[in-house]
Amino acid sequence: MSKLEEYKLRAERGDKPTLVYAELGSCDGCSMIIVNLDTTLLALVDVFDIKQMRIAMRGVYEGPIDVLMLEGAVTCEEEALELRELRKRADYVIAVGACAELGGIPGMAPAGAVKKAQDGAFGAHVKGQGPFAPRPIHEIIKVDGVIHGCPITTADAVRAIRVILAGGRPDYSDRPVCTECVLKDNGCLLLEGRACLGAVTRAGCDAGCPSVGGYCWACRGLVPDAPLNALYNIAELHGISKADIERKLRMANQRHFTLIEEKETK
């Protein structure tokens, strides 16, 4: 029996599966997508008993969880502890958006920066939270599924929920954004001397940014074995510096580079 069949049977008995949407270090942008666009919310409400979602309702739920959606990066020991406790109560965990999956924009903060900002703003009033360099949730707990992007898209969210309900894992495209961009017959921004990261970035957004004239900044994460050196070389041929490419890469993927740099200095 698929999860969907099981959940439907439970819903018929008046025992809808429970869903908790929890936020860590995030801007609430991904939950705004879910709440604002009614198709996503309706797909959730239809099947689940939503027990907690900061942006839409009050209160904290403390019972067992069938599906736990997590938005945001982990920024301190207190959140890591909370995350481990949530994982113990949850059957299925989904990382929602680039912050939760990759560290995302909060992940740009270097080690010590969160503590410095916290001390500067709150001083002695904040104690014992143990702030650290923001990191993705899979570094703390096991994750069962991911919805990519910053922010996520409605289409991705609905599709991911359907796949999960059918008992599968949301699609992890290994193709780069360029493959979608070419199919849309977009002109290539690299040829115009603009740093675009589509060649190393996971597809699935239908080349959203280049299709409207913006560069791809890798918000869906890097493809496996991303050909970074090839991108640096091609970019250089068009007058784009490696530093410009790297600066953009680090906007959503700083944690990826931090881990490599830590390994190299050991």
* Pairing outcome for strands 65-71 and 90-96: parallel
Interatomic CA distance for residues 21 and 81, integer angstroms: 17
To ligand SF4, the closest distance from the beta carbon of 31 in angstroms equals 7
Task: State which residue, 130 or 208, has the beta carbon closest to ligand SF4.
Answer: 208
Closest residue to ligand SF4 in the complex (CB):
198
Residue 138 DSSP symbol: G
Residue type, 62: E
Name the β-bridge partners of 92: 67
* Helix H or strand E encompassing 21: strand 18-23
Strands (E), 54-156: 65-71, 74-76, 90-96, 131-135, 145-147
Q: Give the single-character DSSP code of 223.
A: P
Name 12's Cβ contacts closer than 8 Å, sequence gap at least 6.
none
Q: Quick one: how far is CA 108 from the chain centroid?
A: 14
CB 204 within 8 Å of CB 220: yes
The residue (of 18 and 31) whose beta carbon lies closer to ligand SF4 is 31
Nearer to ligand SF4, 43 or 181 (CB): 181
| Beta carbon of residue 1, minimum distance to ligand SF4 (angstroms, whole number) | 33
> Shortest gap between Cβ of 176 and ligand SF4 (angstroms)?
7
Give the nearer residue to ligand SF4 in terms of CB position, either 71 or 79.
71
Rounded-to-integer distance, Cα 246 and Cα 209, Å = 18
Q: Considering the complex, state which of residue 129 and residue 186 has its C-beta at the smaller distance from ligand SF4.
A: 186
Q: How far is the CB of 144 from ligand SF4 (least distance, A)?
A: 18
What residues are paired with 22 via a beta bridge? Answer: 70
Binding site for ligand SF4 (CB under 6 A): 26-27, 29-30, 71-72, 97-99, 104-105, 149-151, 177-178, 181-182, 186, 188-190, 196, 198-199, 201, 205, 207-210, 216-220
CB of 70 to ligand SF4, least distance (A): 11
Q: How far is the CB of 27 from ligand SF4 (least distance, A)?
A: 4
**Based on CB atoms, which residue is closest to ligand SF4, 50 or 70?**
70
